[in-house]
Each structure stands twice: as structure tokens, then as C-alpha cells.
Structure 1
Amino acid sequence: MLLLAYGDETISRTRVFEWFKRFKEGRTTVESDKREGRPSTSRNEEMVQKIRTAIRDNRRLTTMELSNEFQISFGSVQTILTTDLDMRRVAAKFVPKLFSDEQKENRKQIATDLLEYSESDEFFLKSIITGDET
């Protein structure tokens, strides 16, 4: 029946029996089981912190440069940047998807300073130059 429905895209008969057995035992997901293996030596908290510091110092570093600098694999650097640091590449810079606590606090301080300055100087907002495309 599967061959008729899906043709060449059909999974093997063995795999069907294996999944049937797993679901019959109460499994509710098709995700693979965790596999035992050698623990990662390059993706630890110390390495994540080193890469975070390097990126904050210079956002134009490439994944290969970070890999060579810290002597870890290219893939490990990519995983640290995208998964652990939640960053992505935008115009040759690594940019966090969300602001860090430090950046939020800095932004809040700047906004507070500008608000206080605008309240103390009535001409402050009039001195701001804005423009449009016309």
C-alpha cells in the first residue's frame, strides 16, 4: 500500500516495522534517540565565552578565523555562534538576534539621558534634523 501511495519515495519495510514497534510501545515522536558518543571538548562554557568575547571585540571575524584562533573545528564554531550565542551573519558581521542584558541596559541609559535632556532644553527636539527621500 505504501509503494502504491508513495512510489520510490517509500521508506523501507524494516523502518516501517521499527516505527510501528516504537509507537506501539508508547513513543509519541519521530525524533531520533540520543546517541552515546565522545563528549564535545570544544563546545564548552569556557570556549563559548572566549568566542563571545572575540566577537564583541571584532564583529567582522570570520568563522574560519575563529576556528584557527581557538584551534577548534569550523562546525563547532558555527554551532557556538548560531546555537549557543544565538547569532547570525548580517552583512559580514555577526549580530545577536536579541539584545544582551548589557545592550538593553545601555539602550535604556541612553534613552533616559535623551529624555532628561529634552525636558531640560525646550529647543532640543527642534534641533534634530530629520529627512525623507523627497
Structure 2
Amino acid sequence: MDISHRAVIRYFGLTGLTPKEIHEDMVITLGEDTPLYSMVKKWAAEFKHGRESLEDDPRPGRPVTVTTQKTIAKIHDIIIADRRVTKRYIATELGISQERIHAVIHNEPQMSKVSARWVPKLLGPDLKRTRLNMSRENQVFFGDLRLWMRPGSITSNQRRSSNRSSGNTQALRLPRKPRL
């Protein structure tokens, strides 16, 4: 029911009209948009008993959503720390239902359980992040690779290309199957 309907019910209730008279007047004025008589009766009684607010009362219960970026990050961190972790363990750690954990694992980081381990379906954000971090660490540790090579030394790529160009490559030939 709309707040404006409640305001009309409250106004007519203060003027002394009964819920039935209020509903009849609303049917004439609003037509198909009129709230049900039971709702008009309920709100008229609420206002008669001293209710001031036109808004709905807050309802108890869990929040609308538990799938926030913070929760997804926590789940992801738990899985990365131990790939053999179960959904039940994650659910008890974070206080979320196993169904919600299942949805987050399969939709957000896109992982699936293979041989009792969580394995990414594709190269996901965790592997990309790991590869980027390893590349940065290697770059800091080794620096520029050209500084490590001695002048005049031949790299493995150069060695392979020189063998191909000189014709020294030999292919291993397998015996053919006899034709019948």
C-alpha cells in the first residue's frame, strides 16, 4: 500500500469516518488503484490506536544480501589458503549458509571442486594476481637479464636457431607398420 493511501486513511479516520466509509470513498476516487478493504480497516485501526508514522515498521531478520565484495574476498582468501577446505567449514567460519557459499564459489571466483581441491575454472583473478606478483618479484630479484649474461655467450635460443639453419637436425624415424 502506498504512503499516500495511508495518509488519506489517517485523515478520514481523524474526521470520524468508519473504515467502510473510507474504503467506499477511495473506490469512487481511485477506482482500480484502491487498496483492499482489509488493508483500509487495518490501517484505520492502527491510526485509531495512536500510530503516528505512515511508514512500514522495520522487519527483523537477516540482511537483504550477504554477498558483498568483503564476503567474497574472505571466501576467496580462505580457499587460497587451503584448497582442501569444505563449504561447511567456510560457512561456519563466516556465519553464512552453505548454499550462499556454494553460489559465491561457483559464480564469483569461478572455482570447482576437483579431487577434493578447489581449482579455478579459468585463469581467474587469483592466478592473474599470483603471476603478476611473481613476475614483479623476479624482476626485482634478477633485474635486467641482459646483465646476467657474459659478453659473447650464446643463449639457448641462439643455439637452437643455429642448429636448424646448419641442417644438423635429425629426426627420429619410427618403423612403419606393414600394409596388409
**TM-score for the superposition, normalised by structure 1:** 0.50
Higher Cα Rg, which structure: 2
**TM-score for the superposition, normalised by structure 2:** 0.39
Ranked by relative contact order (alpha carbons within 8 Å, sequence separation 6 or more), the top structure is 1
